[in-house]
Chains A and B, each alone.
Chain A
Amino acid sequence: MDNDKILSRSITQWYQLFSPILLVAFFGSVISFAGSWYLHNDIQSWTKREFDWLAQRRLEVLQNGINHHIAMVEDIRSLFTATKTVTDLEFQIFVHPFLSSHDGIQAFEWIPRVKAAERARFEYDAQIRVPNFQIKEKSPKGDMVPAKPRLEYFPVFYLEPYFGNEAAMGYDIASEPARLIALNKARDTGKLVASQRVVLVQEKEKKFGVLVYFPIYRHGAPTDTVSQRREHLRGFVIGVFRVADLIESIIESHMIPSGVDFLIEDKSINKSESFLYVHKSRADGSLPPIFEAQQDLAKNDSIWRGTLQIANRDWSFTAAKNRALDVQITGYPKSPWIFLVVGLLLTILLVVIMLRKKSYLEDLEKKESRYQKLFAGMGSAVAVYEAVDGGEDFVFRDFNPASERVSKTKKEDVLGRKVTDAFPDVKRFGIFEVFQRVYKTGKPERHPVSQYNDDRIAIWVENYVYKLPSGEVVAIYDDVTTQKNAEAALLKSENHLRTLLESLPQKIFLKNTKSVYISCNQHYAADLGIKPDEISGKTDFDFHPHALAEKYRNDDKEIVEKGIIKDVEESYLHNNKELTVQTVKSPVRNDDGKIIGILGIFWDITARKQGEESIRNLNIELEERVRDRTIELESANKALESFLYTVAHDMRAPLRTLDGFSSILMEEYGDKLDDDGINYLKSLQDGGKDMHRLIEGLLALSRSMKSKLTRKTVDLSQVANDVVQALVDESDNREVTSKITPAIAAYGDANFLKLLLENLFSNAWKFTANSTQALIEFTSYTKDGETVYVVRDNGAGFDMDHKDLLFRPFYQLHKPGEYKGSGVGLALAQRVVERHGGQIWAESEVGKGAKFYFTLGKVKES
């Protein structure tokens, strides 16, 4: 596997392992951010709504308050409208209740229309009520000075409250352009008109005021047109309001909660002169920054705008949220942040918990897998049981492979089964009580090596039983059958070995690699004249002649160096007698194969060596003797052979001479002999013929022993027929019946077999000469896998007492002349059969014919 694959796999695995955690981290963060964002927005919008509502409330309150104040001005106008002439006192009495209950009013004034012509009279009349009354105006320096001559004047004439406003008494409203505009507008429209902001003449602080004009026309005079209204104008009722006082008095009277700052500006005038009032919430003394950067107002959603109506003049109302308001509305304005932080913290916590859990699970999984591997792989068998019937019996819950192996039982065959059911011998075995005890007491127990035995298995096991916290009982057991058997075998073999070593006639010793003796058996110790345990630490030089010890040590060295087994015959001196011993020394190795010593065993072979020596000598002698005898025999054989040859050949010549000359004698001198002479001559010839037969037999016998045997398959029936035919041809009209079983096969030498049958048949032929209805049979049968051939006749037979003499050459059972024969026929037959490895025998009874049996050996035809 290459690195890319490892990497990609590890990435995939990593992804699989951590994806839930990543998801949690991701969604936790997203929810935290989204939630806090939503909360923030919610708070924002809620705050906005609350703020808007508050601002609107404030606007409404202000509008109501203003209306109320304006209404007072209207009430005063009604006074003037109702009465032709309103005195100073009347005005004072009428206005007073308003003033006493309304702090927002600076003053109420009556401003009559004074035409230029009437000025002096007016000033004069006025001085009755107000000393030093003059119609005044404000000089450019700001001082109050008598008004310059104009067409008409509108001087402050009734003024309540007087104190605090006395500076305004006599001030010509028309002298100042801002006031004049509103004045003219009120006169022309006949309606209530508010002035733009003005600085009140009686003002000592730099605060703005607003004048509310109400035109008063002459009683009964028409006021339908502007000109009519201009002509019939009597004067104005004026309400003087310091804007700040007005607003503040309204606010205070309504106890409106703080938190909303607002700005009031005059809409119908240019920006530089529009500012009227700014209200700073009591919660915060500083001016809201938005009013300082009014160009941003449009963008600011914290701004609420409205319009205040004051005597047909529009004031803009711009409310801004005071910082304190958020707190006031939401209680705690940082909650989105808290939500975010808490959310993130929770996410982190969750991730950490998941990581912990994951690692815990992995750990658990690892432990579980480790346990499973351990369980499956351990060499000891483990079975887990659950107690049933209150600890009376136990049911298999787990069974590891070693268990399967040891108990030769499949896991699936025992799981869920009772132990008494699965292993019937468990009670006798003794473990069952242990289970019960361990289950009751919770104390682990060891059950010693015992044999478990049922129909299926017979094993030696050793058990360790303990209880799990879960209540399950565990049995760990080891199959010690092999060990047990091995131990028994070992014990036996060890005893055997020890006995063997001690009872062995051989001498046995153990040496270390330095040729120092470690131990030896009793026999060797006895040889050395010591006790077996005395040999330890000694060397060969302590016991043996130097030269021998040297030789032994050199052999030891060779064994240690080459790691070979050395089997030698060597000298050994015992009781000053030199013996020959056979010594086998082999290296002894430890478990690592390192040579740690030499094990030697030797035994006395002196007698054997001597025996071998004499046997060798005997053999040599014997061979010599055999050779001599063979030579003798060979020369004897040769002598016999040449003797036979000589006899056979050299005897034929005299026979021929005998026959030849007797025949010539008979032929040429027969007429000169009498009957007796001729008979004598015939006897002479007969004797020659007998002699000739003997010689031919002798030759045949000699050849039968010398000639080579060549086997092949021969049809013996055919040979028998030929032989019988030849006998018939030679004979002088004998009546002989022959029964020859056809197709009798034999495996042998054709010439010899013919010779054999010739002799047997001619024998039968000969001995049936005196039988009436002579019969000769040739048959065969099988016995023990061997073919037995039979030549049977119904002739004279023989006495079974003489059967051993039958096959002896030149030995005839019958009297000479009774049956003619060479005397070697059956001897020849026997030679032929024996040379084939077969046997020949005969059965007979005198006068009842004879049976000749022969076999030709069990040679397989090839």
Chain B
Amino acid sequence: MNRRKSQTVLLVEDNPKDELLTMRALKKSGLANKVQVVRDGAEALDYLFAKGEFSERDITDLPNVVLLDLKLPKIDGLEVLRRIREDDRTKRIPVVILTSSDETKDMVAGYDLNVNSFVCKPVSFSDFSNAISQLGMYWLAINEVPAEEVE
């Protein structure tokens, strides 16, 4: 079984306070050093398709999971998801929507775009920390993804 070149989490989060709380939760789980944070949808896409700021990046070095907020500046989360799924290079990346919304409408739209998981951010801090740490553990330690040679 081939592993990805690096064990990374791509966190797409525009709210710095949430970013801080998320990072703290991940840090407590020992996963903080593997997190790449982008702050809007466009930046997320640049990172994934190695454009703009991230043009130097190896495009084949895909993250193990994308934690995607929905309400994002520039390009919103669902659009980001759609583009990920559209492109052959990125279509198999596990994407977890991590949002404040618990609207059915948003869930349906996410699952329609083949999101791998939909997680509503708890308001309570303890619940939130708990959820984030479980997510990190699951997607990085437990979940398996295919090696890039498969392509």
Contacts and interface: CB of A to CB of B under 8 A. Distances in A.
A661 B17 contact: yes
A645 B17 CA distance: 21
Contacts of B24: 664
Interface stretch (B3-11, B72-80, B124-132, B135-143): B124-132
Nearest to A660: B125
A349 to B, nearest CB: 129
A455 B125 CA distance: 103
B34 interface: no
B29 interface: no
B101 A649 contact: yes
A653 B72 CA distance: 13
Interface string B5-40: 000000000010110010010000000000000000
B125 A652 contact: no
A648 B124 CA distance: 15
A698 to B, nearest CB: 13
Contacts of B21: 656-657, 660-661
Interface residues of B, number: 17
A692 B127 CA distance: 14
A450 interface: no
A664 B18 CA distance: 13
Contact of A659 (B71, B100, B123): B123
A655 B128 CA distance: 12
Interface in A684-703: 688, 692
Contacts of B18: 653, 656-657
B70 to A, nearest CB: 9
Contacts of B99: 649
A660 B17 contact: yes
A663 B18 CA distance: 14
Interface in B78-107: 99-101, 103
Contacts of A692: 123
B104 to A, nearest CB: 9
A649 B123 CA distance: 10
B101 A659 contact: no
A163 to B, nearest CB: 200
B126 A663 contact: yes
B4 to A, nearest CB: 31
Given A652-B123, A664-B24, A692-B123, A657 B17 contact: yes
Contacts of A645: 101, 103
A652 B100 contact: yes
Interface in A680-736: 688, 692
A688 B124 CA distance: 9
A663 B125 contact: yes
Given A657-B21, A660-B21, A661-B17, A649 B100 contact: yes
Interface in A638-659: 645, 648-650, 652-653, 655-657, 659
A655 B103 CA distance: 18
Contacts of B123: 652, 655-656, 659, 688, 692
Nearest to A662: B125
Nearest to B25: A660
A663 B126 CA distance: 8
Contacts of A688: 123
Contacts of B15: 653, 657
Given A653-B15, A653-B18, A659 B124 contact: yes
Contacts of B103: 645
B6 to A, nearest CB: 29
A662 B123 CA distance: 13
Contact of B128 (A649, A656, A662): A656
A663 B130 CA distance: 13
A174 to B, nearest CB: 198
Contacts of A648: 101
B95 to A, nearest CB: 20
Interface in A291-317: none
A676 to B, nearest CB: 22
A656 B121 contact: yes
A35 B111 CA distance: 142
Contacts of A649: 71, 99-101
B125 A656 contact: yes
A663 B103 CA distance: 27
A786 B18 CA distance: 52
Contacts of A652: 100, 121, 123
Contacts of A656: 17-18, 21, 100, 121-125, 128
B23 to A, nearest CB: 12
A662 B124 CA distance: 11
A661 B16 CA distance: 12
Contacts of B101: 645, 648-649
Interface string A401-427: 000000000000000000000000000
Nearest to B99: A649
Nearest to B71: A649
8 contacts: A650-B100, A652-B121, A656-B18, A656-B124, A657-B18, A659-B123, A662-B125, A664-B125
- Top 3 closest pairs, chain A to chain B, by CB: A660-B125, A663-B125, A657-B17
Interface of B: 15, 17-18, 21, 24, 71, 99-101, 103, 121-126, 128
Given A650-B100, A664-B24, 16 more contacts: A645-B101, A645-B103, A649-B71, A650-B71, A652-B100, A652-B123, A653-B121, A655-B123, A656-B123, A656-B125, A657-B21, A659-B124, A659-B125, A660-B128, A663-B125, A663-B126
